[in-house]
Structure 1
Amino acid sequence: MTAQQTADRIGRSQALERLARVGLVAYGVVHLLIAWIALQLAWGGSSESADQSGALQTLAEEPFGSPLLWVVGLGLIALALWQLADVLRYTGALSGSGDERKKAAAKVGKCVAKAVVYAFLAYSALKYAVGAGSSSSDQQQQTTSGVLGWPGGRFLVGIAALVVLGVGGYHVVKGVTKKFLEQIDTSEASPTQVRVITRLGQVGYVAKGAALVVVGGLVGYAALTFDPSKSSGLDGAMHTILQAPAGQWLLSLVALGIAAYGVFCFFRARYPQRT
C-alpha cells in the first residue's frame, strides 16, 4: 500500500474524523477559556494565566475536570493525526517539480506545523489530567533562557521571534482575505450560517494574529536584551496589551476576537474540511 493510499484510508476513517471533531471542539473551548481569562484580566484581574495553561488549569479545577482533560487530550491527538494524514497525501507531489512541488511543500509545512501545535496542546492537557501541569509562560521563559545560553543562542531566539511574527502576520492576512474558508466545508450550511462563519473567522483570525505578533515581539525583545523574562508567551502578550493606552478596551477586543475564533472552531467541527 502506497503512502497516498494509506493517507486516504486514514483520512476517510469515520472513527478518526469523529475524534478529530472532538479535538476541534476542544480547541475551541480552550480559546473561549483564554478569552474569558483575558476579559477578567482586563476588567478585574485574574489569578490564571491568559494562555493555554490557564485555560487547561481552569478545566482541571472543574468537577470531572480530569476526565474532561483526557477527552480534550485524545481529541487533539486525533486532530494531529488527521493533519499528518494530509502530510502523507502530499508526499508524492514533493518528488515533482516546479509549482506543483512548491505548493506541496507549503501544504506539508502547514500540516506539520498544525500537527505539532495540536500534539503539544494534547500533551499539556494530559499532563493537567494527571495533575502535572505547569505554566506555559514559565516553560517559555525557561526554554528561552536555555537557548540564550547556547553559542549563537541570541540569534536562534531572534529567528524564533521572526517565525512567530510571521505566523501572527499570516493569521491576520488569512482573516482579511478570508482564506480560512478553505479549512471548512460549508456546502451543507445555510447562507446565514456561512455569513456567521465568515464573520467569526475574519474577527477571530485577525485577533489571534495580533496577539501572536505581540508574542513574537516579546520574544524578539528577549533576544535583543538577553533577558529571558521578557519572553512570557501569550500571557505576557495579554499583559503588554493591557499596559498600552486604552489597554482595557484593546485587551477586551482581542479577547472577543479570540472567543470568535473559538466559536469558529465549533463550526469547523460541524462542517469539517474533507480532502
Structure 2
Amino acid sequence: MTTEKGDATETAREVGGEAVRAGGRAGFAARGVLYVLVGALAVRIALTGTGEQADRGGAVAYTAATAFGAVLLWALGIGLAGMAVWRLSEAVLGAAGPKGHKAHRRALAAGRCVFYAGSAFLVLSFAVGERGSGEGSTDRQSRDLTARLLELPGGRWWVGAVAAGVLVAGLWIAGRAVLRKYWEELERERLTVRQRRLMDVTGVAGGVGRGLVFAALGFSGVKAAAAFDPGEAKGMDDAIRSFAQTPAGPWLLIAVAVGLVLFGLFSFGEAKWHEF
C-alpha cells in the first residue's frame, strides 16, 4: 500500500512537472510572437513613419484586428501565464543546470514571474474586452509612473536607481548575447550544426537588439531623474523610435527592429530546445 501511494505521488509530481514545462514552452512561443510583431511594427515605422505603436500595446492591437484575433489573444495570454508559472517554479524549486539553485538565479526567476504574470493579465484583460488594459501606450504609462515616483520623498533618487538598473540590465542582456551565454540554458546536443548556426544568428543579433532597447529605456529614465522631468521618460515605443534620432538615422532603427524580430525567432527556438 505504501509503495502504491509513493508511486502515485511520484506520478503526480511528474505530471505536474511536465505541465509546468509545457507552460514554459508555450510562454517562449508567445514571447516570440510578441517580439516578431513589435519588430515588424518598428520596421514599418522606420520605412513609412506610421503612427503605430512599436510596443506590447501595438502588438496586442494588431493581433486583435486579425481574422482570428480573439483566439490568438487568448493563446498569447495563456502562453504568457504558463511562462509565469514556470518561472515561479524556478524561483521556488530552482532552475535546471548546475547553477539553477543559486540565490541570484531564484531571484531573477521571481522577477521574471512577476513580469510575465503582469503581461498575461494585460493581454487576457484585452481579450475579454477591457480595451484600456491590454492596449495602451507604454510611453504614457512610463511618464505617468515616473511622475508619481518623482512626487515621493527622494523620488528623483528612486527614479534614477530604477532607471540605472534597467540601463545596466540592457547592457547585460546585450553582453550575454555577444558572449553567447544563452547556450548555458539550451540543450545543445539536440541541435544539428545548421540549427546551432540559426540559434547563434538569432541569439546574438536578437539579444543585442533587445538589450539596446532596454538600455535606451533606462537612459531615458536617468535623464528624467536628472532633469526632474517625467516627460523625459520613454516607454518601449519612444525608446525604439529614438534610435532614428541618432547620427545613423533610420538605419539604426531598422537594425534594432530587425534584431527584435530575430529575438522573436530565437524565442521560438527556445520553446523547442530550452533546458527544463
Within a 5 Å distance, the mapping from 1:112-123 to structure 2 comes to 112-123=110-121
1:180 to 179, 182, 187: 182
| 8 Å Cα contact 1:29/1:262 also seen in 2 | yes
**1:266 aligned onto 2:268:** yes
CA change 1:174–1:197 in 2 (3 A) is: same
User: Counterparts of 1:60 and 1:265 in 2: how far apart (Å)?
Assistant: 22
User: Counterparts of 2:260 and 2:14 in 1: how far apart (Å)?
Assistant: 31
1:107 to 102, 105, 108: 105
Q: Which residue of 2 aligns with 1:24?
A: 28
Deviation for aligned residue 1:12: 5.9
Is the partner of 2:190 in helix, strand or coil?
coil
Q: Which runs of 4+ in 1 moved over 4 A?
A: 100-103
RMSD (CA atoms): 2.3
Q: Which residue of 1 aligns with 2:209?
A: 207
Deviation for aligned residue 1:67: 2.0
| 8 Å Cα contact 1:176/1:206 also seen in 2 | yes
Is the partner of 1:49 in helix, strand or coil?
coil
Deviation for aligned residue 1:103: 7.1
**Gaps spanning 5+ residues in structure 2: where?**
1-8
Deviation for aligned residue 1:48: 1.9
Is the partner of 1:120 in helix, strand or coil?
helix
How much identity, in percent, do the aligned residues show?
32
Is the partner of 1:246 in helix, strand or coil?
coil
| 8 Å Cα contact 1:66/1:128 also seen in 2 | no
Is the partner of 1:46 in helix, strand or coil?
coil
Map Cα deviations across residues 63-113 of structure 1 (whole Å, 9 max, x no partner).
Answer: 22122111111111111111111111249xxxxxxxx99971111122112
1:168 to 167, 170, 192: 170
1:53 to 37, 51, 57: 57
User: Counterparts of 1:26 and 1:240 in 2: how far apart (Å)?
Assistant: 26
1:84 to 73, 88, 107: 88
Deviation for aligned residue 1:11: 9.0
2:127 to 118, 129, 151: 129
Q: Which residue of 2 aligns with 1:33?
A: 37
User: Counterparts of 2:14 and 2:87 in 1: how far apart (Å)?
Assistant: 10
| 8 Å Cα contact 1:171/1:209 also seen in 2 | yes
Q: Which residue of 2 aligns with 1:94?
A: none
| 8 Å Cα contact 1:11/1:85 also seen in 2 | no
Q: How many residues align?
A: 261
| 8 Å Cα contact 2:94/2:100 also seen in 1 | no
Q: Using structure 1 for the length normalisation, give the TM-score.
A: 0.88
Q: Using structure 2 for the length normalisation, give the TM-score.
A: 0.88
Map Cα deviations across residues 18-54 of structure 1 (whole Å, 9 max, x no partner).
Answer: 2322221110010001101111111102232111111
User: Counterparts of 1:212 and 1:101 in 2: how far apart (Å)?
Assistant: 25
| 8 Å Cα contact 1:66/1:129 also seen in 2 | yes
Deviation for aligned residue 1:246: 2.4
| 8 Å Cα contact 2:94/2:101 also seen in 1 | no
Return the letter of the residue paired with 2:170: G
